[in-house]
Amino acid sequence: MLLGNPDLYLETVASENVYLLWISRAQTALFLFMLVTIIIERITYRKGLLPKQGAQFTFFWVIIFIPVLLSAFFSTRNDFHYNILFFPLLLIAAYLSPGFKIEEKIDKFLYIPLIFVYTSLFAAIFFPSWAFQYGYNQSPIGLPMRLFGMAPHPNILGSIAFSALVLQRIDNKKSQANLIHAIASIITILLSQSKTIWITLFIWVIVEAFIKFFGRRQQVYKIIGYGLLLTLLITTSFLLFQQKMLEDTFSSSITLTGRTDVWTITLDVWKQNPLLGYGPDIWNLDFRQTYGYLWAGQAHNQIMQTIGESGILGLLSLIVFYAVLIQIGSKYAPVTKGAAFGIVILMLMRSFTEVPLRNYLIDISFIMNSIFYIILLNSHQHKRQM
């Protein structure tokens, strides 16, 4: 209702409780202070010597935020926001912290997505009018509703449930509880009706079957990973340069649900500053209000989003990061029973329709990416033989 009434939407945003706003600011300041304190303490403890393990991976994940910082000062809409620093500082703090064996901590990491899975299913049973989005007329399976549950969007809930499936692979215990967790996660993915996650799950199953036949060889994982990356780049290039054909082929009421307009706007503002893009404010509230797209909080494609906010520099850093991610995921896939590569598949597939690497807010995407990073960072200590 709010998104269908711009005046009501803006009035609601403006009437946000001022006390909650200041509490949030205080929490944010405390979070940043803790991260900076940890970084200073660890550098002091290590006497300036940085750990070799995870250095490359951390460096290139941090690097994708450098063009964003540059665009915040030198882009079309130069406006710096301290929340850009959240995730890079977290990465550095985790990188400098002591490592651990994944199998000893996986239960704690798994709790987070499972809480979302089970509370969402509980709400679906006992509070369906709150948990579901009704009137969904694009269902491939004939269900006229999508499960939001405890997540802000069904697509996000689907990705959380898929994450639960991936993390369970690391756990070596074959128990009835794990079977129940897997079934609950699959049901959640089905009810969320996120087509991106359905395709992601299908690809992961195919990859696992393929690997089972050829063996868990790093080279096989790399070929698959780079194939997905190439597909992402080709698909996005098509979106960038064939928009007129898309607009003529699809109407906003069909499957792309207005995304062709979002891509067109993103491309138009990028052209004003090809090197550094529009800036981190692209698709924020003011930007959406200007173009009349209050529902679109992102460009619905990671590469398109990156081009729009940090231009060609951002795109180059993102492609290099994807390559490093594939290398790391492929390297540790054999010792994590494919879980490390499952993380790669999820991040690449979500990049087709979402922006999983933006991480400017401390939300569920931020938390899940933090878990993924920590797991990949410490996968070298996972010695279990397959």
Residue 343 lies in a domain: no
Residue 244 token pair: 């007129």
Q: Is the pLDDT of residue 385 over 60?
A: no
Mean pLDDT for the stretch of residues 153-157: 94
Mean pLDDT for the stretch of residues 123-133: 95
Residue 307 lies in a domain: yes
Amino acid identity of residue 308, one-letter, is: G
By mean pLDDT, which of 142-151, 201-210, 254-263, 289-298 is the weakest?
254-263
What kind and span of H or E run contains 262? helix 259-270
Percent helix, strand and coil across the chain, each rounded to 5?
A: 70, 0, 30
* CA–CA distance, 211 with 334 (Å, rounded to integer): 10
Instruction: Name 15's Cβ contacts closer than 8 Å, sequence gap at least 6.
Output: none
Write the pLDDT tens digit of every residue in 184-193.
Answer: 999 999 999 9
Amino acid identity of residue 329, one-letter, is: G
* CA–CA distance, 123 with 4 (Å, rounded to integer): 25
| More confident call, 296 vs 147 | 147
| CA distances in angstroms from 83 to 87, 236, 330, 341, 381, listed in the order given | 8, 27, 31, 29, 32
Contact of 93 with 39, CB cutoff 8 Å: yes
Residue 159 lies in a domain: no
Report the pLDDT value the prediction gives residue 301, as an integer from 0 to 100: 92
Mean pLDDT for the stretch of residues 295-302: 86
Residue 240 token pair: 């960038």
| More confident call, 351 vs 176 | 351
Q: Residue written as tokens 């550095």?
A: 92
* CA–CA distance, 168 with 165 (Å, rounded to integer): 5
* CA–CA distance, 365 with 345 (Å, rounded to integer): 16
What kind and span of H or E run contains 322? helix 302-332
Q: Mean pLDDT highest for which of 266-270, 277-281, 346-350?
A: 346-350
* CA–CA distance, 347 with 354 (Å, rounded to integer): 9
Report the pLDDT value the prediction gives residue 28, as an integer from 0 to 100: 80
Residue 141 token pair: 């399976």
| Cα angle for residues 213, 199, 348 (degrees, 5° grid) | 85
Write the pLDDT tens digit of every residue in 225-252.
Answer: 999 999 999 988 887 666 555 555 544 4
Q: Residue written as tokens 């996660």?
A: 185
* DSSP assignment string, 299-312: -SSHHHHHHHHHHH
Mean pLDDT for the stretch of residues 301-318: 95
Report the pLDDT value the prediction gives residue 79, as an integer from 0 to 100: 75
Amino acid identity of residue 279, one-letter, is: G
Report residue 118's pLDDT band, with 50, 70 and 90 as the boundaries. very high
Residue 73 lies in a domain: yes
Measured in degrees and rounded to the nearest 5, phi and psi for residue 213 equal -80, -45
Report the pLDDT value the prediction gives residue 157, as an integer from 0 to 100: 97
Supply the mean pLDDT for the chain: 86
Residue 199 lies in a domain: no
| More confident call, 370 vs 17 | 370
Report residue 1's pLDDT band, with 50, 70 and 90 as the boundaries. very low
C-alpha dihedral over 89, 93, 94, 98, to 10 degrees?
170
Q: Is the pLDDT of residue 267 over 70?
A: yes
Q: Three-state SS for 278? A: coil
Report the pLDDT value the prediction gives residue 244, as an integer from 0 to 100: 54
What crossing angle do the helices spanning 102-126 and 364-377 adopt, rounded to 10°?
160
Contact of 47 with 40, CB cutoff 8 Å: no
Helices (H), 193-301: 195-214, 218-241, 243-249, 259-270, 285-291
Q: What is the pTM of this model?
A: 0.89
Instruction: Name 60's Cβ contacts closer than 8 Å, sequence gap at least 6.
Output: 317, 320, 321, 324
| Cα angle for residues 374, 380, 382 (degrees, 5° grid) | 90
State which residues form the domain around 234. Answer: 1-98+217-332
Say what percent of the chain tops pLDDT 90: 54
Write the pLDDT tens digit of every residue in 140-152.
Answer: 888 999 999 999 9
Total count of domains within the chain: 1
Residue 82 lies in a domain: yes
Report the pLDDT value the prediction gives residue 239, as an integer from 0 to 100: 72
Write the pLDDT tens digit of every residue in 98-117.
Answer: 988 888 888 899 999 999 99
What kind and span of H or E run contains 192? helix 176-192
Residue 364 lies in a domain: no
* CA–CA distance, 119 with 115 (Å, rounded to integer): 6
Residue 94 lies in a domain: yes
